[in-house]
Each structure stands twice: as C-alpha cells, then as structure tokens.
Structure 1
Amino acid sequence: MPQNPIPSRRGLLFGTAAVSAGALLTACTSNEPKETETTEKTETTGDQAPIAGDKPGKAVTIGFAGPQADHGWLNAINDNARSRAKKYDDVTLEITEGSNDTAAQIGQVQTLINKKVDVLVILPADGKALTQIGLQAMREGIPVINLDRVFASPQAYRCWIGGDNYGMGLNAGRYIGERLKDKADAKVIELAGVDSLELTKQRTQGFDDALKNYPNIKKVARQAADFTVESGQAKMAQLLQAQSRFDALWNHDDDQGVGALRAIAQAGRKDFLMVGGAGAKSAMDAIKADDSVLKATVLYPPTMAASAIDIARAVAQRKGIGGMSELEIPASITLYSAVVTKANVDQYLPTGFS
C-alpha cells in the first residue's frame, strides 16, 4: 500500500476524493467537446468524473511505472491509468509490467527514459530506493509525476499527487468519535496495516489525534496485519478473543477487512461498529446493505492514477489547471479522505475497486 509525504508537505486539498484531478483540470486537459461529454460509470476507473474542456493538444507519450499489482488497490491504480489515457486521442501510454523488486522497477523506468517518453508517472515500490532514477529523468528533461509513495527528494519529481494517510486515520477517528461521543467509557480497537510502513504509522497517528477530542473514548487494543484477507482474519480473531467488549473498530484496509469480517461473523459478534479504509467495492456493498458491523470506510482513492495521467498530459503540453490563476501545475496535490457511509455510498460506489 502507498505512502504519502508527511502532513507538512500536503499541498492542495481537493474537496472530494471520489472526483479525480480530472475534474479540476477541466479547462485544460480534454479533447472532448462539451456537447459530447459522457458520464458513463465503471466500478474501478473513476470514469464518473467527466472530462471536458479544450481541444486536443500535441501528441504526448506518457510512461507509467508502478509496483506489482498484488493488491486490489494497486490493480485499481493500473486500471485507472489505462482508462484515463484512453480518453485522450493525443496520449500514448507506455506502461510497465510492475515489480516489487526495486532493481527491476528501476530497470523498467530506465527503459522508459531510453525510449524518450515525454513525461513519466511513477508509483515507486520504494520511494527512497527509486529517488535516483527520478532525479535522472528530471535531469534529462523528462518531467516526473510522483504518484503516492514519495521520493526522498522533491528534486526527483515535478508534481507529487497522492492520498492522505494521516487524514484517513483522522477522519476515521472523527467518525467513530461522533458516533460514540455520548457513550460513557467507550472502548475502541485498531486493526492496522504493516507496521514497518510509514503509511501505517501515519494512519495510526491520525486516528489517535482524533480521539484526543473525545475524552470518553479509550483505545484498548491494536493489532497489525499485512493487508491481506488471511492476515485480517487471523489478527481480527486474536483481537476478538482478547477483547470481550468494545464499541468500535478502525480497520486500515478493506482487503484485510474482508478477512476481519469473516472472523467477526464466525465469532457471532454484532456489538460494535466497524470503519474500514481505502474504498473497496466489497466494503461499499456491505455498507449499502447495512447487514454487518461495517458502517463506513475512509477513502484512499485509486482514482489518483487517472489524475496523474491528467497532470502528466497537462505538464507535457505546458498547460495549467483550470479554475486556478497560476500558469503552472502545483508541486503537490493531496487527495481528501472522504468517509463513505450508507447516506452517501451511492455517490462513491462507481469508484469502488475489486
């Protein structure tokens, strides 16, 4: 799963996570005339945000390199990039197979540099390890759009766009806090992601900071899983055994949440509410059905990959962002971590990933 810059480097906050940066780029990135706009929706590619605006520009070749799609969210990242690129007659997308091996991914990016693509979009398997290849591309005059997992140096990219891990935890905590604010001696537990990842630390920190505003709520347990169904089920079973009573669960990831829900069902527990994270379609379906403990999920939208394609095209064609006075693309764009509940799930379902 992704890592984003520390909170002090959050750039431009979008008002909603479901609509990608394409909505903000409406005045500068489209080759679809307004009278032929479409609002056709799909489950995984964020196509609910219509592309509208200017005429086709110069032909642009975008190189896209990401890690291996071994997780639902990462697979949705690739789908979003491909889908958005197809919207543009003036964009050719060169996409790599993806690898979690940093040396292999560096080699893939080097190949794209050798092909002299106009702009690169890179979601690094390891931001620090791939910083040098980002610096090389920038030195050779190829702008880099750094997607989500941040490079170690801002000189390695022209624009960073990604999710808000701290904001995920913060908004999960606020939602739970508001639901439990009138309950005396409320208890919550946390099913985190991979503790070695900075993103996990940020999600936990945001959650803990939110709970500071609710003195009646105490976090009584935390268990780290591995972003898989199997780990979610095993770690959740341990939490349920150890905690006979609690009022809410914050689960960092909807993929491991599938396993967590299995463990909860097997234990016959219905005495608490659960908040997930990322925005999987399975989670949104469960929220809409309202037949389980899962009542909300906090988005970490894979539509950011579609937005990265929009931004890459605009940078290559030397365009700015519609609706902003500046002539240049911002240096940093942080997406908002919206909370999806039964009240608004229909709005966000088209962005849910499998």
Structure 2
Amino acid sequence: MIRRTISRPVRAAAALGVVALVAAGCTSNTPEAADTTSSDSQRAGSSNDDPGDKVTIGFSGPAADHGWLGAINSAAQAEAKKFSDVEFKAAEGTNDASQQIAQVETFINDKVDAIVLLPTDGAALTEVATKAMNAGIIVVNVDREFSTPFAARTTILGDNYGMGVSAGTYACKLVKDKNLTNPVIAEIAGIDALPLTQDRSKGFADALKGCNQTVDNRVAAEFTVESGEKVASNLLQAAPKIDIIWNHDDDQGVGVMAAFDNAKRNEFAFIGGAGSANAMRWIKEGKMEATVLYPPTQAADGVRLARLLAQDKSMSDLVQVAVPRRIVLDAPVVTKDNVEEYLPLGFES
C-alpha cells in the first residue's frame, strides 16, 4: 500500500498510491468526473508538484490514541509542508463526533478550499460533510466512509477485505513452501463488532479456501497492547500446536509478541497487519514472518488530492485524467525480501 515521496524505493510504492488507486474508481456519472476536455489533456502533461494557486486545506481526524492514527495525522501534516502553495489548518484530533462536526463547521465558516476528513464516525459526519460540499468546499473522505457519496468529492480507503486476502494468500504460500500437512492456522482479530474486523476476517477465510484450509483457532482483541497480550496468552494455552498465526493489528501485536515470549512459543509463522515499525524490525530480525500493510498515508494522499482538486488540476498518469471519485489502496505483504522498501512507512506503536 503506499505511497509517499520519501526515498526512491518508496517513491515506487507511492506511485501505486496514485496510479493503482485508479482501478477502484476512475469512472463516474457526474459531469465533473466525466469531463475530459482538451484543457484537461494539456494539464495532464504538466508537473502537478509545481506551485500553483494558493489553497487552504482543513484537516480533521480522530485522536492519536493508536500508533496508526498518530501516523495518519503526522503524515498529513508532513505532506502539506511539502507544498508552498498549501495553507494547512489542522484541527485537534478527537474521538467525539460532536466536536468533529464543530470543527468542520469552523472550516466551512472560514471558507477553506478543501477539507480532508477522517471521521470518528462516517454516518455521524455525513450531514456536515454534505453541507461543506453544498457550500462549494471540496471534501476528501478518508478511511471511514460517509453514508452518501454526495458528502465527498473523493473517498480514499484502505482495503480491509484485501488485507485478509493478502494474509490468507500468504498463509497458503507458507503451507505449500513448508509442505505443511494438516496445518493449524490461528487468527487474532481486532474488535469483532467493527465492520473492518469482519471484512479482514472474511478476506482471510476466503483466501484460505484457495488452499483448502480454514481457521482452526480464533480470538478477538481490542487493538490495544494489553488486549493483544491477554487474548494471545489464552490462544496459546488453548492450542498446544500452531503452524501459522495472523494478527490483524501491529499495535496490539506488541502485546501479542509479549505473550509469545512469555510462553516461549515460536514454532509458528507469525503474520501481522497494518505495517508498524516494530513489525518491520521483527521481520528483519527473523522474529516475524510478514505483515500486511494498511496504509497510514491515507490522509497524506487526501492532502495531495485535495490540493489537485482545489487547483483544478488532473492526474497526469491516467488516461482518464480526472481525479477518481473512489480510491482503494493496495494491501501488500511485507517480508524480509522487501522490508527495506517499506520500512520508511512503518509507524511507531
């Protein structure tokens, strides 16, 4: 997944964040997205990073009480600083939907050019986001979708189902490569009530069907270190033999790894999720098999696209040059073979 202009190898990944995104949504019935005039074609030949008209972008996201969310916020701010033509107004992170609605209202009153919004609750923020759009302000929705497409010009999403598919596909590869007979496969999920957890689990189960495997042991944590250690300890007690474990979240993975160490269990291949710096260091050290990225750069991508949209620019790498209305980022597997490429994107838990 991901994308940002950090180093040359990561720049290659960054290209996916703007090009591979497109497969998810470069067609639309709206005149805005369907317009491919000659002026668009001319703009497509220019460098989108060249300074343009000054634009003001408001950003609102949840409180950074989780390593991934902290990375989301810092990456957005860092991206905005790269552009001399962007005035970036970041609201204080909050998990209170009412407070976030008030932040968006302030952006509307300030007449910003665009708003990049990772809502605490997509449904709760839909009405005020629609109000911003109706006021002529471009809204870029990040990670948690609004209830209607009219609330945003563009939506940028991680691929939760795709994370599960990537993890399951890699697990199948391990089964084949290690010539495992009747392997025991375990899963440490996040909060089961959340659709994102359900999507990840479904993708994992669907991919395992490709090699005639199923999840033998499953527990659910709460995306925290403490819960990760607790449920992993319970899992290890219940399953004296495990061949492969997929943990949905690398932040809770700190606790999961602690449980492994306490139990002195390391006979299994450990696959993580999200792409923390801890996980990538463990991969380099041989303590972890792989992790599946859930890009912490979604809001940074949102800033880049909000700037393009506010400056009436297009995406020069596309044939259909208009900025897509819906973008789903990739969920690549990071292993010892490519960890150096993705390490600059790893977030601290």
TM interval, short-chain normalised: 0.7 to 0.9
Match for residue 321 of structure 1? Answer: 315
Q: Give, as a single letter, the amino acid of the residue that structure 1 aligns with 2:297.
A: T
Tell me the residue number matched to 1:55.
50
Match of 2:294 among 300, 311, 318: 300
Counterpart of 2:197 in structure 1 is: 200
Structure 1 residues 149 and 199, CA gap change in structure 2 (3 angstroms): same
Q: Which runs of 4+ in 1 moved over 2 A?
A: 15-18, 20-25, 52-55
1:101 to 92, 96, 118: 96
**316, 331, 338: which one aligns with 1:337:** 331
Instruction: State the match for 2:110 in structure 1.
Output: 115
Where does structure 2 lack aligned partners over 5 or more consecutive residues? 1-9, 21-46
- Match status 1:74 vs 2:87: no
Q: What is the CA deviation profile of residues 317-351 of structure 1, one whole-angstrom value per residue up to 9, with x for unaligned ones?
A: 01111111224210011110010000110010010
Return the alpha-carbon distance in structure 1 between the equivalents of residues 74 and 11 of structure 2: 20
SS in structure 2 opposite 1:283?
A: helix
Q: Which residue of 1 aligns with 2:243?
A: 247
- Note the alpha carbon deviations across 1:195-233, whole angstroms, 9 max, x for none: 111100000000000001111x33111111011111100
Q: Secondary structure at the match of 1:171?
A: helix
Q: 2:347 maps to what in 1? A: 353
- 1:298–1:338 CA contact under 8 A, matched in 2: yes
CA deviation map 1:69-117 (0-9, x unaligned): 1000000011111101000000000100011111111111111111110
Pick the aligned partner of 2:186 from 186, 189, 196. 189
Partner of 2:226: 230
Counterparts of 1:350 and 1:152 in 2: how far apart (Å)? 34
Does the CA contact (< 8 Å) of 1:19 and 1:303 recur in 2?
Answer: no
**CA gap 1:60/1:336 in 2 versus in 1, 3 angstroms:** same
Aligned residues: 311
Distance in structure 2 (CA, Å) of the matches to 1:130 and 1:218: 38
Instruction: Work out whether residues 192 and 198 of structure 2, in 8 Å CA contact, stay in contact via their aligned partners in 1.
Output: yes
Asked if the contact 1:63/1:121 (under 8 Å) is kept, the reply is yes
Larger relative helix fraction:
2
Partner of 2:80: 85
- Residue 289 (structure 1) aligned with residue 285 (structure 2): yes
Question: Is 1:16–1:336's contact at 8 Å kept on the other side of the alignment?
Answer: no
Which residue identity lines up with residue 286 of structure 1 in the other structure? W
**Identity fraction in percent:** 49
- CA 1:209–1:167 in 2, change beyond 3 Å: closer, same or farther? same
Separation (CA, whole Å) in 1 of partners of 2:158 and 2:223: 17
1:147 maps to 2:142: yes
SS at match of 1:219: coil
Any residues of structure 2 matched to 1:18-37 within 5 Å, and which?
18-19=13-14, 24=19
Matched, 1:128 2:123: yes
How far is the alpha carbon of 1:303 from its aligned partner? 1.5
C-alpha separation in 1, matches of 2:292 and 2:147: 27
Provide the C-alpha distance between the structure 1 equivalents of 2:170 and 2:50, rounded to a whole number of angstroms.
Answer: 43
Q: Per the alignment, in what secondary structure is the counterpart of residue 141 of structure 1?
A: coil
2:275 — aligned with what?
279
Among candidates 216, 219, 225, match of residue 215 of structure 2: 219
**TM-score normalised according to structure 2 size:** 0.86
The SS at the match of 2:65 is coil
Whether the aligned pair in 1 keeps the contact of 2:17 and 2:329 (CA below 8 Å) is no
Cα drift, residue 21 of structure 1: 6.5
| Alignment RMSD (CA, Å) | 1.7
The unaligned stretches of length 5 or more in structure 1 are 1-14, 26-51
Q: Distance in 2 between matches of 1:314 and 1:346?
A: 30
Write the letter of the residue equivalent to 2:119.
P
Residue in structure 1 matched with residue 255 of structure 2 by the alignment = 259
TM-score (norm 1): 0.85
Q: 1:17 to 1:258 in 2, by over 3 A?
A: farther
SS in 1 for 2:292: strand
